[in-house]
Structure 1
Amino acid sequence: MPDFAPLRVRGGGCRHWLRRAVRRRRRAVVVGLAVSAAALAVATPRPTERADAHTEAAQDAGPKHRRAVPRAEMVSAPVRIADAETVRLLRRGDRVDVIASANSPSGGRSSRAEVVAAGVRVTDVPKSGETSADGGALVVLSVPRATAAQLAGAGATSRLAVTLC
C-alpha cells in the first residue's frame, strides 16, 4: 500500500464561516439603527420650533381653529393650613384641593366654604413638630401663578383646609 499524506478534516470551517456571517449581520443592524437614530435626531424639530409652527398653522387656518394656549407658569405657594394634624397625612407629590372657610364677624363658625385650588400638587410638607402657635402648619404647593394669588388672598381672610384627591 502506498503512503498517503495524513488527511486533515477542517470540521470547524463551516461554523467559523457562520459565526463571521452573524457578526457581519449584527454590525449591519447596529449601523442601520445608528443611522436611523441620527436621521430622526436631525429631522425632529426643537420644542420652540414645534410651538412656532403650531401657532403659525393656527393663524393661517383662520378663525375656525383655536390658537395654541400658552401653558400656565407654575410657582411654589406656601399655604398655612389650619389643622396641623391633617397636614401630617400629606406627602410630597400628593394632589389636594384647598378649601377656604370664611371667618364670621361674630367669631363663630361659618358654614360657607369654597374650593380655592383644585388638584394641586404638594411639593413640601413640614417635619413632625413644626407647627405654629395656633395649631396650623405651612405646606408648599405647586400652582399656576393666578391660583397662587387666589390662595394668598384666601389665606389672609379665611381658614384654609385641604382634602386629598
Structure 2
Amino acid sequence: MPVPAPVAAAPAPCGVPAFDPLRVRGGGHRLRRALLRRRRAVAAGLAVTAAALAASGAGGPGAAAGAQERAEAAARAAADAQPDVEKVRLVTAPVRIADVETVRLLRPGDRVDVIAAAPSPGGGESDARVLATGVLVESIPRALESAAEGGALVLLTVTRGVATELAGASTNSRLALTLC
C-alpha cells in the first residue's frame, strides 16, 4: 500500500509592511490652467482699457477735445480685433458634384475648391468660376453607386455666405471640385 505524501503546512500569516502614502502627480495642472486663463482674460481687459485711455487722451485738465469720440473708436477697434463668432459662423452645406469619380477620391478632412460651370446658351464654351477655395470636406454619404446620373453628394464646411452662394449656383450650374 502506498504511503501518502506529507502535506506541507501553510505559511504563518504576516502583517502588511508599512509604506509611505502614494502621491499622485499632475493633478494640479487643471487649477493652474484655469488660473492662467483668468490671468490672460484680465490682462486682455487691462490692455483694452489702457488702449482706450491712451487714445482718449484723458488724464488731466488739459485733455484734448473729442476725447469721447476717440475712446469710442478705440473700443470699437478693440472689439473688431476679437474674433466675432457671428461673422465666422460655419455651417455644413450639402453640395451635389457632377463628377462621381472625383467624389470617390475624397476623404473627410480634405480641402477642396468648388467650381461652378454654367452652360452657355448657344451651346459653346461654358463660363467657369470659383465659388469657394480651401473648404473642408466634412463627410461623403455612402450612396455613390446610385448617384451616377445626378452627381454625388458631398458635405462641406463653409461660412453662411458661401453656403448661400453654393446653393444658388447648384440650381443652374454643374459643380466640380479640385483637390487643394
TM-score by length of 2: 0.60
Check the 8 A contact 2:115/2:176 in 1, yes or no: yes
> Partner residue of 1:81?
97
Identity over aligned pairs, percent: 44
Identify which of 136, 147, 169 aligns with 1:121.
136
Q: Which has the higher contact order (CA 8 A, sep 6+)?
A: 1
Any residues of structure 2 matched to 1:1-165 within 5 Å, and which?
A: 27=23, 30=25, 34=27, 37-45=30-38, 53=45, 56-57=48-49, 60=52, 63=73, 67=80, 68-71=82-85, 72-106=88-122, 108-127=123-142, 128-131=144-147, 133-134=149-150, 136-165=151-180
Could you tell me how far apart the structure 2 residues matched to 1:150 and 1:92 are? 22
| Superposition misfits of 4+ residues, deviation over 4 angstroms | 33-37, 54-59, 61-66
Deviation at 1:39, TM superposition (A): 4.1
Range with bigger deviation, 55-64 or 145-154: 55-64
Distance in 2, matches of 1:54 and 1:143, equals 35
TM-superposition CA deviations, 1:65-94 (whole Å, max 9, x none): 562241411101011111111111111111
* Cα distance, 1:37–1:161 mapped onto 2, change above 3 Å: closer
Q: CA deviation at 1:133?
A: 3.1
Structure 1 contact 102–110 (Cα < 8 Å) conserved: no
What TM-score, normalized to structure 1?
Answer: 0.65
| Corresponding residue number in structure 1 for 2:8 | none
In the alignment, the residues of structure 1 paired with residue 139 and residue 98 of structure 2 have an alpha-carbon distance, to the nearest angstrom, of: 16
Please give the alpha-carbon distance, in whole angstroms, between the structure 2 residues aligned to 1:157 and 1:58.
53
Conserved 8 A contact 2:119-2:126: no
Distance 1:141 1:164 in 2: 13
Deviation at 1:38, TM superposition (A): 2.4
Letter in 1 for 2:169: A
Alignment-mate amino acid for residue 81 of structure 1: I
- Tell me the alpha carbon deviations over residues 85-106 of structure 1, each in whole angstroms, 9 at most, x when there is no partner: 1111111111100001111113
Distance 2:105 2:153 in 1: 13
> How many Å separate the matches in 2 of 1:90 and 1:116?
18
Unaligned ranges ≥5, structure 2: 1-18, 56-70
The verdict on how the C-alpha distance between 1:57 and 1:125 changes in structure 2, with shifts beyond 3 A counting, is farther
Is the 2:114–2:178 Cα contact (8 Å) retained in structure 1?
yes
1:153 Cα deviation (Å)?
1.1
